[in-house]
Amino acid sequence: MAQKTTRRRDFLRASAGMVAGAGLLQASRLLYARPESTGLLKACQFRMLPEELSDVEKFRLAKRCGFQGIEHSPMDDLNAARELGALSRQEGVPIHSISYGGWSAPFSDPRPEVVDKGLVDMEAALRSADAQGAEVVLLVPAVVTEEVGYAEAYRRSQTNIRKLLPLADELGVTIAVENVWNKFLLSPVEFARYIDEFDSPRLRAYIDVGNMILFGFAQDWLRTVGRRVIRIHLKDFRRKGHEWTNLLDGDVNWLQVRKALEEIGYNGYLTTELQAGGEAYLTDLANRIDRIISMVWDAQTHPAPGPATSDCCPRDYLVGYKKSSRPKASHFRELASDSWSQNRR
């Protein structure tokens, strides 16, 4: 009897070990997924590449360092823009977005001549994006100042951005408003509402995961804005000392950011917006993005907080929120107005 009991204990101990081992193996697979097995793509800004290199050398360096896309700036010469876009695609690092900005002529400005300049410049940026083959143009939607109140900035910026939507639709380029230090759209709930009020597939969100760390949390913004997000900027920030850092060296909770990206179904470019550097620096940076991408969680074993849906901004929180305005199409340029109309029904 004692021998049978001993054998039974050995069996249970061995079985427990096998189960635990299987669990650890499964957890390891979930936590460290191969970056290429996801739909996330690494990108850098063109200005981060060494200035002394030729355009083709810059693209080749970006590719060699591990990047899969480039964010560029508007170009006045559309023929040159087409040539540069073709070259980027030929070298395997397509220009996927254009960083326009909008600080110099904000759509919230009370002076008509400033707004007119902003409209002309933004229209040129949209045409340049189309020429370069980019799918998105980044826009700072408004700037709140001593002279420009919050409500005025909200109203004016929406009125003026709406004037650009027909051209964006014609070109198939999406305007993506970004969260920046402009004293405007300071909560993710308001940010989501602002986008929804356009009721257009050509107006989406560009989330910078470092820009809200001083007063919020990147994972909360991602979960709240949800599928409205079309592009992501990667930066890191340290609250103590108020300083920018390299990725993984600041206070961004990268594991939670990675979980949030998985929850909202984001598949697209993760673009670094950091200082320029040489090959060793850029390769290390690409490797840091790989480490972030590899942070995958098991939704069944470790459910994330908040709503289970990918549209994580609760309807009750939004005044005037319309379900029909939730973007449901892909993050990529093939989005067309007719499929948008069909998907939102």
CATH number of the domain to which 213 belongs = 3.20.20.150
Determine, yes or no, domain membership for 16: no
Mean pLDDT of the 290-310 span? 59
Whether the per-residue pLDDT at 278 is higher than 90: the answer is: yes
Q: Higher pLDDT residue, 240 or 319? A: 240
Query: What span, in angstroms and rounded, lies between the C-alpha atoms of 194 and 228?
Result: 11
Residue 114: domain span: 37-343
Q: How far is CA 15 from the centre of its chain?
A: 45
Q: Please tell me the total count of domains within the chain.
A: 1
Q: So what's the pLDDT on residue 100?
A: 94
Token digits of residue 137: 């143009």
Task: Kindly state whether residue 84 falls inside one of the protein's structural domains.
Answer: yes
pLDDT higher for 119 or 337?
119
Q: How confident is the model at residue 103 (pLDDT cuts 50, 70, 90)?
A: confident
Residue 5, in any domain of the structure: no
Phi/psi of residue 234, nearest 5 degrees: -105, 120
CA pair distance 184, 107, nearest whole angstrom: 12
Count, residues in the chain:
345
Residue 226 within any structural domain of the chain: yes
Q: Residue range 66-95: average pLDDT? A: 98
Instruction: pLDDT band for 316, please (50, 70, 90 cuts).
Output: very low
Q: Is residue 1 part of a domain?
A: no
> Does position 343 have pLDDT exceeding 50, yes or no?
no
In a domain, 110, yes or no: yes
Please report whether residue 314 resides in a domain: yes
Asked if the model's pLDDT at residue 86 lies above 50, the reply is yes
pLDDT classification of 235: cutoffs 50, 70, 90: very high
Mean pLDDT of 243-250: 95
Mean pLDDT of 59-83: 98
Query: Residue 308 has what pLDDT?
Result: 36
In a domain, 18, yes or no: no
Q: What is the DSSP string of 59-111?
A: HHHHHHHT--EEEE---S-HHHHHHHHHHHHHTT--EEEEEEE-SSS-TT-S-
The pLDDT of residue 319 is above 50: no
How confident is the model over 159-174, as a mean pLDDT? 98
Q: What is the pTM of this model?
A: 0.78
Angle at 297 between CA 291 and CA 301, to 5 degrees: 155
**% of the chain with per-residue pLDDT over 70:** 75
Confidence of residue 187 (pLDDT cuts 50, 70, 90): very high
Token couple for 127: 């045409």
- pLDDT of residue 322 exceeding 60, the answer is no
pLDDT for residue 281: 98
